[in-house]
Chain A
Amino acid sequence: MVGWSGRRKNLTILAFVVPTLLAIAVFSVYPFIFNTFISLTNRSKFRPNPDCSVTIWRIVEPTCWLSTEQRGLAEPFTFSDPLLKNYGDLLGGLFTADALLALLRIGLIVAPLIVALVLNNRWGKRLSRPVSSGIVWLGGLVVTILLALPWLLDLPGAYQTLLESGDFIMVNVRTILYVVICMPLFFIFGLTMALILNNDYIKGRTFFRVILIVPWAASTVAIMMSLIWQFFFRGNGTINQFLAVLGIEGPTYLTKDVWAFFVVVLVNLWYTYPFFMVIILGGLQSIPPDLYEAAEVDGASWWQQLMNITLPLLRPAVLPAIVLSTLTTYKVDAVVWGITQGGPVKGADIPGFTEFVMVHAYKQIFQTRAYGRMGAFAVILFVVLFIATLYSLRITRITEGAYE
C-alpha cells in the first residue's frame, strides 16, 4: 500500500483488528486458560466452588471477581495432588504394557495397506508396472485381514484391551473407529453421485443436483432433523413398520450396540454426502476433457481412467474437504445427541457404544460434573486439534496468502 507508514499505520491496523481480538480473547482464549487451571484441580460436583482467598482464583474465577465470600457449604476445590492427576486419570491407561502392545499390534495390522500405498505411488511413476494397482491393494488387504485374525495379531483382542484402559481411551477408540468407517462412505457416495451428475448424457442433472443437497441444508438444524431420523429406528418406528408389512419383525435398533452405531453412521452419511458431492463435482468440472479423449485413444478402460486420471486430479480439490470433514466427524455431537444421546444405556456413568468424544465431554461436564477431569480433557483435545489444524494447513495451503 502506498502513502502511509509508521505510527499511523500501526494505529489504523489496530483499529481494524482490536474489536475482533477482544471478542476472541474473552470467549476463546480466556476459556482455554481457565480450562488449563481447572484441569489441575479436583473440582467436581462435590467441590464445585473456588476458594476466593487464593490469589490465582481471584484472577481466573469469574465467581470471585465480584465478591470473595465463600459460596455454598461444600469445601472449595484445591489443586490436585499430584498436580497432573487428572491427566493421569485420562491417559494413564494408555501407558501400560498391555495397551501399548495393543496399539503396536493395530499399527502392524494396518502396515500392509501403507506398504501397498507406497508401492503404488512408486510404481505409478514408472512407464510400465510389474502388477496393476488393484492387485497391490488386494494383496495388502488380504495380508491385513490375515494379520487381524485372532490367532495372528488378534485385532478384536487389541481393540478389547484398549476399551478396558479407561473411559477416555475407550471413547476415543470408538470415535476413531466411527471416523474410519464414515469417511470412505462419505467419499464413495459423494464420488458416485458426482460422477453420475457430471455425465453429459444424463437428463435433469440440474434438478437432481438441487434436490440432492437438501440433506446438507437440513444438517444446519442437525439436532432437530436427527430427532426425526431417530423415529425411523424406534422399535415401532417407520423401518420396522415397512418390515412388518413384509412379515419381518425388526430389532429395536437403538438399544443394540452395533445397530445404534450404524444408524448414527447412516444418518451422518445422509447429512454429509452432499458436501462431498458438491466438492467432487467442482473438482470433476475442472479436469480438462482432452485427458479423457487421449486416454480413450490409448484404449484405457473406464476403470483405468477413473484410477489414473480422475482420482489423482481430484486430489487438490478433495483433500482439504476430507481433512475438514475428518475433524468435524471426530467432533460429531448433535447427530448422536438427537438419535442415541450416547446410548444404548449401560448404566450410570458407563459410556454407551455411540458415546463419541464430544457427547462424552458434554455428559461428563453437565451430568457427572467432573469439571477438573474435563478441563484436562479440553486441554488434551486442544493440543490434538491444534496439531491436526496445522497439519491440514500444510496440506491445503489455504494460508498461502499468509505466507507470502
Chain B
Amino acid sequence: MNQPPKPWTKILMYVVLVLMTIFALYPVWFAVLAAGRPGQRLYTFDLMGMIVPTQWTWDNLRALLTETAFLTWIKNSLFVATATALAALFIGTSAAFAFSRFKFYGRQGGLILFLAIQAFPGILSLVPIAQILSAVGLYANHWGLIMAYLAGTLVFVIWNLKGYFDTIPIDLEEAAMIDGCDPIQSFVRVALPLARPALAVTLLFGFMAGWGEFFLANILIPAPDAKKTVMVGMYQMANEVNIPWGRFASGAVLVLIPIILIFLWLQRYLESGLTVGGVKG
C-alpha cells in the first residue's frame, strides 16, 4: 500500500494527523494552562486563554508545594511504587527463570493461574486483604499497601521476564554448567546479566503500575493526609467543596510530565511486545 498517495489523499492524511495530535495533546496542554492561570478556576472567559497562556503565574505551584501535602504524597507514592517494583522484581525474577528453564509438575497450570489472577480485579479482593492487613497491624500502613500490590505486580513481572528468558539461548547456561556452575550460579552469573535491560524496563513498568493505582490505596490508607499516595491526594483535592483547580492542575502537570517522558523513552519497548503481561490501563 505504499504507493505515493494522491495529493488530496495526502492532505486528508495530514489533516487527520493534526486533528489527532490536537486531540491527544490538548487535555495535557489544558492542564498546563490551568496551572499557570491566576485564581482557583480551570476555566476562563477569555477564549485565547484556553489555547495559549495569556496570563501566567507561579502562585498555584507555590501554593501546591507549600499549603498542601503534595510533596509528602509524592514521597509516599515514590516509596510505595519503588518498593513494590523492587520487591516484585526480587521475588519474581527467580520464579520467571524457573518457569522459563525448568520442567516441573504444575508449570503449565501455574502460568495459567497467574494469568487468571491478573484478569481478576483487585477491588474484589479488597475486603479480605484489608482484614488480613488489620489483623497483622499493617492497615493504614505503607508496607501493607506494598504487600497488597505485590501479588499483581509479581504476575506481571513473571510473565514479562519469562518471555525474555525464553529468548535468551539456553546454550550459554549449558556451557556454564559444563564448566561447573550449578543452576543457581548459572542463573545469577549468566542469565541475570543478560537480562539486565529487560529487568530495568520491567522495573519501570512495575513502578508505574503502583504509581497510578487508586482504589486499593484509597481504601487501605484512609488517613491521615500525610500517609496518602499522590493519586488519592489528588482525587481528594478534586472533590473538595471549593475545588482548588489551579493547584490541582499544577499537581497534575508535575505528575504527568515525568510519566510522559518515561513513556517516550520506553517507546521501542512498547512496540516490541514487552507488554504481553498487560500494563494497559
Contact = CB atoms under 8 A, between A and B. Distances in A.
Q: Interface extent on B, as a size class?
A: 35 or more
Contact of A66 (B21, B27, B129, B135): B135
A13 to B, nearest CB: 5
B20 A365 contact: no
Contacts of B271: 278, 281-282
A209 B158 CA distance: 29
Given A31-B125, A358-B123, A213 B263 contact: yes
B259 A333 contact: no
A201 B166 contact: no
Interface stretch (B53-61, B63-71, B105-113, B195-203): B105-113
Given A196-B17, A305-B1, A278 B150 contact: no
A34 B127 CA distance: 9
B281 A214 contact: no
Interface string B265-281: 00100110100101111
A299 interface: no
Most buried by A among B13, B25, B178: B13
Interface of A: 1-4, 9-10, 12-13, 15-17, 19-21, 23-24, 26-28, 30-32, 34-35, 38, 61-63, 65-66, 192-193, 195-196, 198-202, 208-225, 227-229, 231-232, 236-238, 241-242, 245, 270-272, 274-275, 278, 281-282, 289, 292, 296, 302, 305-306, 310, 320, 324-325, 327-328, 331, 333-335, 337-338, 358, 361-362, 365-366, 371, 374, 377-378, 381-382, 385-386, 388-390, 393, 398-399, 401-403
Interface of B: 1-5, 10, 13-14, 16-17, 20-21, 23-25, 27-28, 30-31, 42-43, 45, 47, 50, 91-92, 94-95, 97-102, 104, 107-108, 110-117, 119-121, 123-129, 131-132, 134-136, 147-148, 150-151, 154-155, 158, 162, 166, 170, 173-174, 177-178, 182-184, 187, 208-209, 211-212, 214-215, 219, 231, 234-235, 238, 245, 248-249, 252, 255-256, 259-260, 262-264, 267, 270-271, 273, 276, 278-281
9 contacts: A1-B101, A17-B110, A27-B147, A32-B120, A196-B16, A217-B264, A219-B280, A224-B212, A385-B116
